[in-house]
Amino acid sequence: MPVQTSRRPPSLEPGPPGRVPPTVPPQPGPGNQGPGKQRPGGGKRKRTKRKDPLWARLTLIFGAVLMMSSGIAIVGSKALIGQATSSIDQGNLIGAAGKTEAEGGKNLDGPIDMLLLGVDARERWAADNVRADTIIVLHIPASHDQAYLISIPRDTEVEIPGHGTDKINSAFYFGAQNGGGWEGGAQLMAKTIKQMTGIGFDGAAIINFGGFKKVIDALGSVRICVSHEVESHHMSLVDGKPMWNADAKKTGKPRTKVVHKKGCKQMEGWEALDYSRQRYGLPGGDYDRQQNQQQLIKAMAKKATDKGMLTNPIKLKQLINAAGKALVLDTGRVDPADFIFTLKGVTGNDLITLRTNGGKYATNANDRESLNELSKQMFAAVREDKLADFVVANPEVLSTRK
Instruction: Render pLDDT for 151-180 as a digit per residue (tens, 0 to 9).
Output: 898 889 999 999 999 999 899 999 999 889
Residue 306 lies in a domain: yes
Dist CA 239 CA 250 (whole Å) = 14
262 or 64, greater pLDDT: 262
- How confident is the prediction for the chain on average, in pLDDT? 75
Select from 167, 158, 169, 153 the least CA-distant residue to 291.
Answer: 153
pLDDT at 44 over 60: no
Residue 229 lies in a domain: no
Dist CA 359 CA 79 (whole Å) = 42
pLDDT at 255 over 70: yes
Instruction: Render pLDDT for 332-374 as a digit per residue (tens, 0 to 9).
Output: 877 777 777 776 655 445 578 888 887 777 777 677 888 999 9
pLDDT at 395 over 60: yes
pLDDT at 15 over 60: no
Residue 37 lies in a domain: no
Q: Give the chain's domain count.
A: 1
Angle at 136 (CA atoms; ends 390, 1), nearest 5 degrees: 60
CB-based contact 305:67 (threshold 8 Å): no
Q: What average pLDDT does the segment 308-328 reach? A: 69
Is the backbone peptide bond immediately before 30 cis, with ω within 30 degrees of 0?
no
pLDDT bin (cut points 50, 70, 90) of residue 313 is low
Angle at 52 (CA atoms; ends 51, 57), nearest 5 degrees: 135
By three-state DSSP, how is residue 251 classified?
helix
Select from 12, 10, 24 the least CA-distant residue to 349.
Answer: 24
By three-state DSSP, how is residue 280 classified?
coil
Dist CA 295 CA 266 (whole Å) = 13
CATH assignment of the domain containing 164:
3.40.630.190
CB-based contact 62:38 (threshold 8 Å): no
Residue 2 lies in a domain: no
Residue 241 lies in a domain: no
Dist CA 330 CA 142 (whole Å) = 20
19 or 225, greater pLDDT: 225
pLDDT bin (cut points 50, 70, 90) of residue 90 is confident
Residue 225 lies in a domain: no
Dist CA 387 CA 377 (whole Å) = 10
What range defines the domain where residue 74 resides? 54-220+280-397
pLDDT at 325 over 60: yes
Give kind and range of the element (H or E) at residue 258. strand 256-260
pLDDT bin (cut points 50, 70, 90) of residue 127 is low
pLDDT at 42 over 70: no
Q: Find residue 398's DSSP bridge partners.
A: 354
Residue 295 lies in a domain: yes
Instruction: Render pLDDT for 265-287 as a digit per residue (tens, 0 to 9).
Output: 999 999 998 998 888 888 888 77
Looking at the chain, the whole-number percentage of residues with pLDDT higher than 70 is 68
Residue 275 lies in a domain: no
pLDDT at 288 over 80: yes
